[in-house]
Structure 1
Amino acid sequence: MSNLGDFHIHTPFCPHGTTDSLSQYAEKACALGLTAISFTEHAPLPNGFIDPTPDQDSGMSPDQVDAYIQAVQAIKETYKNRLTIHLGFEVDYIEGFEEDISHFLDTYGDVIDDAILSVHMLKDHTGKFHCLDFSSEAFGELVTVFGSVEAVYHAYFQTIERSVCSDLGKFKPSRIGHITLVEKFKKVYPYTYSQAMMQQIDCLLSLIKKEGYSLDVNTAGLFKPHCGTLYPNPTVLKLAKEKQIPLRLGSDAHQASDVGRRFQLSLIE
């Protein structure tokens, strides 16, 4: 795996992850021959936003951010001769909370090496937020609220478009996370992309290219029982390559054993 890196890795600071240490993740990366990794922990959710998940564990606690930064800075130093380690965050784009997201990024931007901008939360017509990827049952509720599977997909890609266009300040993440995460439960809620949906995605990818963003090529979907494909799926990945959008591999590991899972250089070439 020479010259490969894993640029989407979580840590023991993730409230819905494992207690595997940062060094365990780093050692796994070294064992695989990776040259670089990014720790991209879920940033705290914006002030005033109510996490819709049952355990309200979608992001790290604000009072842990400084400890997280110190821990990653320490591990960077420990492994500096063996592995390039980036300190980063996976930042949730949540519609209507741009000011608070910007404040977080401005506060910590000087120490951030790498960051991902992701959509996990969708806002319905009443203003209520739903977690897109929590469970198949919760996704079913989304389908009911939005009226159809296609309507959920449309809302998801529309929200990603808003994230790309949003003004989050000079430290805004430049990589879009798992762009087809909406497919996580597609074996339970199947959907064949319509021509209109593919046109929406094509326009979104053109916007991503125009604005200079890269894409997270996320292998986690391969291991989700109701998905089984990459995020982005092969069709969307092919379109991204045709548009020459920069691509970076990420395992989305929440435990050390998942680092570098199913990585192939061909996925991003």
Structure 2
Amino acid sequence: MIDYHVHTSLCNHATGTMDQYVRAAVDKGLATICFLDHLTFQEAGHTNAMLPREVPMYVNAARRLAREYRGRISVRVGLEVDFSPGHVDRCIETVNTFDLDVVGSSVHFLDGEDVVSRRSAWASGRISADEIYPKYLGVLESMLDYDYFDVICHLDLPKKYNQRPSPSAVQGFVDVLEKIRERDLAVELNTSGFHYPVNEAFPSPELLGRCAQLQIPVVVGSDAHEPEAVGRDFDRARDLLDAAGYRHLAGFSHRRREVVPLR
């Protein structure tokens, strides 16, 4: 099995050394671990992401671990870049500067606020689903006008606190998946949702099934923020993928997509 979404302490809200994450992956019998730490460009200040000047150190550290663990596990490195319409040029410049294996794109911020923070108005129920989901889907649609990334991370993330999308919002996600298919991108099956109030992976089984129907490649990620979370709930991920009809996963090396057997 492969884990393509692992963070580091550089994001300021994860613990453990990069070596500890790799050793945890080896102990769990994973074939590949990919660091995918946060990089966020926002008009408002942020603290939950590495600084752009830290990217070279991060990439070099991952490549050193890849050499050290060669023959035991494949260690790869990418970035989870938060989509920010006002900073697309900086995103493109950054991801094109470094020899990355994969670039994931995600949406955490709406109108400058991290809507999936436990301190947000959304998390506390002060904003309705009818307000958040149309905004979120609109940003996803805008994001898909660009091509500097390979994977869409945790597609239906706003459900994190168990405020689920309405049928019309679900249809909005289906429309987004059509566009993802047109762009030949992959979608992440992110198991971290099992550890939030929603108690469900991202995306939902319904949307994962639609991904399979559209033949959208899927990569699996734990979204680990501590070494013990690497590969967490991958048995449940396999069951979801089996039920959806997947027999292969997507992997990435130097921005080229690979086919990886599910079992």
- TM-score (normalised: structure 1): 0.84
Q: Match for residue 36 of structure 1?
A: 32
Q: Match for residue 194 of structure 2?
A: 222
Q: 1:23 aligns with which of 19, 24, 29?
A: 19
Q: Match for residue 182 of structure 1?
A: 158
**CA distance, structure 2, for counterparts of residue 164 and residue 98 of structure 1:** 12
Distance 1:72 1:42, change over 3 A: same
- Kept in 2, the 8 Å contact 1:142–1:152? The answer is no
In the alignment, is residue 201 of structure 1 matched against residue 184 of structure 2?
A: no
Q: Match for residue 5 of structure 2?
A: 8
Q: Match for residue 129 of structure 2?
A: 149
Distance 1:137 1:174, change over 3 A: closer
Query: 1:87-98 alignment to 2 at 5 Å?
Result: 87-98=77-88
In the alignment, is residue 119 of structure 1 matched against residue 116 of structure 2?
A: no
1:185-229 CA-partner distances (Å, limit 9, x unpaired):
12xxx34522x22321111111101110101100001011x2211
Give the drift of 1:177: 0.3
Q: 2:57 aligns with which of 43, 62, 67?
A: 67
Aligned with 2:137: secondary structure?
helix
In the alignment, is residue 138 of structure 1 matched against residue 133 of structure 2?
A: no
Give the drift of 1:243: 1.2
Aligned with 1:42: secondary structure?
strand
Give the drift of 1:152: 0.3
Q: 2:146 aligns with which of 166, 187, 200?
A: 166
- Kept in 1, the 8 Å contact 2:190–2:223? The answer is yes
Distance 1:89 1:142, change over 3 A: farther
Which ranges in structure 2 are unaligned for 5 or more consecutive residues? 247-263
Structure 1 or 2: more strand by fraction: 2
Distance 1:156 1:192, change over 3 A: closer
Give the drift of 1:141: 7.2
- Kept in 2, the 8 Å contact 1:251–1:259? The answer is yes
Q: 2:44 aligns with which of 34, 44, 50?
A: 50
- Kept in 2, the 8 Å contact 1:23–1:75? The answer is yes
- Kept in 2, the 8 Å contact 1:150–1:191? The answer is no
Aligned length: 240
Specify the code of the residue in structure 2 equivalent to 1:253.
Answer: A
- Kept in 1, the 8 Å contact 2:153–2:187? The answer is yes
- Kept in 2, the 8 Å contact 1:122–1:155? The answer is yes
Q: Match for residue 259 of structure 1?
A: 230
- Kept in 2, the 8 Å contact 1:219–1:252? The answer is yes
**CA distance, structure 1, for counterparts of residue 79 and residue 137 of structure 2:** 21
Q: Match for residue 183 of structure 2?
A: 211
- Kept in 1, the 8 Å contact 2:114–2:120? The answer is no
**Does 24-33 or 130-139 show the bigger shift?**
130-139
**CA distance, structure 2, for counterparts of residue 202 and residue 218 of structure 1:** 18
1:160-188 CA-partner distances (Å, limit 9, x unpaired):
12111125xxxx111000001110112xx
Q: Match for residue 258 of structure 2?
A: none
Aligned with 1:138: secondary structure?
coil
Give the drift of 1:138: 3.0
- Kept in 2, the 8 Å contact 1:136–1:185? The answer is no
Which ranges in structure 1 are unaligned for 5 or more consecutive residues? 124-128
Distance 1:137 1:12, change over 3 A: closer
**CA distance, structure 2, for counterparts of residue 143 and residue 205 of structure 1:** 29
RMSD: 1.8
Give the drift of 1:142: 8.3
**CA distance, structure 1, for counterparts of residue 110 and residue 119 of structure 2:** 15
